[in-house]
């Protein structure tokens, strides 16, 4: 078993998860020099190493305790988990947090000219996918007999090449499907990026740095959806204004120099703020309304 004093985090080397993973680590205050061909980045200000790998390897690196944490899509994670279970292994990991990024879904799509009434229309078809375990589980649940063609990339061209009658692949906007004359017919799972950790107990010093990092991750996620709002309002409307602000913490109310009947209100919203809320505040008598992003939060 590999032992290191530095906390090791696996993230995708390049691709759809990479940018968001780097951004999250940066926002957690981890300082490192990113160089394009590096496979391991040493943080300069904390005992943390970042391993840059293919996303498919991240669940195994964490489950096998090579890395302590990893950032990966639920799609890959669930497929690897099922693969392990199907092979009698214990998938040894915990999801620490969903990261609300890299959202997509694993869906079945058929050529536009193929009739699809319900999932029973898949009976007897050849379905191409890179997710054979998730697809097999779904087919078993639905009691459908279909042939799974396991291919690792460019799944969407399999029907045009005559290799398959349908596909089961990741979709986000649906543009790739459209370009290949495929229609999405059924969603197996919704997916987003998640932070995972090994279940193994870490040495004290590593456990400490992990707790610090996880607390910062929570702070970053909370700050991302929170806003700081400031406005001026008539004292007599304060109760009405408060009722327009669900999900807001206790407001700070301050006097305005030389003005008796109006006050300044500062409040944090943990749920995001829409234009509609700002418009309603204005209608209820507020003015000078400012909505600011929050960079860090800790309670």
Site residues (CB under 6 A) for ligand ATP? Answer: 12, 15-17, 54-56, 73, 75-76, 102, 104, 170, 172, 191
Q: Are strands 104-111 and 93-98 parallel, antiparallel or unpaired?
A: unpaired
Residues 115-150: b if buried by 16+ CB within 10 A, e if exposed: ebeebebbeebbbbbbbbbbbbbbbeeeebebebbe
Q: Please, what is the minimum distance in Å from the beta carbon of residue 163 to ligand ATP?
A: 20
CB nearer Zn ion, residue 55 or residue 79: 55
Cβ neighbors of 296 (< 8 A, separation 6 or more) are 219, 220, 223
Q: Does 55 bind Zn ion (CB under 5 A)?
A: yes
CB of 152 to Zn ion, least distance (A): 8
Identity of the residue, 76 or 229, whose beta carbon is nearer to ligand ATP in the bound complex: 76
3 Cβ contact partners less than 8 Å away, ≥ 6 residues apart: none
* Cβ at position 37, least distance to Zn ion in Å: 19
Pick the stretch among 48-56, 128-136, 233-241, 290-298 that binds Zn ion (CB under 5 A).
Answer: 48-56
Please name the residues in contact with 74: beta carbons below 8 A apart, sequence gap of 6 or more: 98, 189, 190, 191, 192, 193, 194
**Could you tell me the smallest distance in angstroms from the CB atom of residue 195 to ligand ATP?**
13
Nearer to ligand ATP, 75 or 269 (CB): 75
**At its nearest, how many Å lie between Zn ion and the CB of residue 272?**
31
C-alpha–C-alpha distance, residues 257 and 235, integer Å: 14
At residue 133, the 3 state secondary structure works out as: helix
Q: Residue 79 carries which DSSP code?
A: H
Work out whether 56 is an interface residue with Zn ion (CB under 5 A): yes
Would you say 105 or 280 has its CB closer to ligand ATP? 105
Residue ranges that bind Zn ion, judged by CB under 5 A: 55-56
């Amino acid at each position: 078993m590999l032992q290191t004093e530095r906390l090791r985090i696996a993230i995708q080397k390049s691709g759809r998860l990479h940018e968001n993973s780097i951004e999250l680590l940066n926002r957690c205050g981890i300082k490192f020099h990113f160089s394009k061909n590096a496979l391991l980045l040493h943080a300069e200000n904390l005992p943390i190493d970042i391993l840059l790998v293919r996303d498919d390897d991240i669940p195994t690196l964490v489950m096998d305790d090579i890395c302590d944490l990893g950032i990966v899509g639920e799609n890959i994670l669930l497929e690897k988990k099922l693969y392990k279970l199907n092979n009698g292994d214990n998938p040894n990991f915990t999801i620490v947090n969903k990261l609300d990024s890299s959202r997509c879904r694993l869906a079945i799509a058929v050529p536009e000219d193929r009739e699809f009434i319900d999932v029973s229309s898949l009976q007897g078809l050849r379905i191409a996918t890179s997710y054979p375990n998730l697809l097999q589980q779904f087919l078993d649940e639905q009691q459908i007999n279909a042939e799974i063609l396991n291919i690792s990339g460019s799944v969407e061209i399999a029907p045009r090449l005559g290799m398959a009658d349908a596909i089961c692949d990741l979709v986000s906007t649906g543009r790739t499907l459209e370009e290949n004359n495929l229609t999405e017919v059924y969603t197996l799972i919704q997916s987003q990026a998640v932070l995972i950790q090994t279940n193994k107990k870490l040495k004290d010093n590593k456990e400490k740095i992990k707790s610090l990092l996880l607390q910062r991750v929570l702070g970053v996620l909370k700050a991302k959806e929170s806003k700081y709002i400031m406005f001026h309002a008539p004292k007599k409307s304060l109760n009405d204004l408060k009722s327009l602000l669900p999900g807001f913490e206790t407001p700070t109310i301050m006097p305005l120099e030389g003005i008796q009947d109006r006050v300044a209100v500062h409040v944090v919203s943990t749920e995001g703020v829409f234009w509609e809320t700002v418009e309603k505040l204005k209608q209820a008598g507020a003015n000078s309304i400012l909505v600011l992003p929050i960079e860090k939060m800790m309670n």
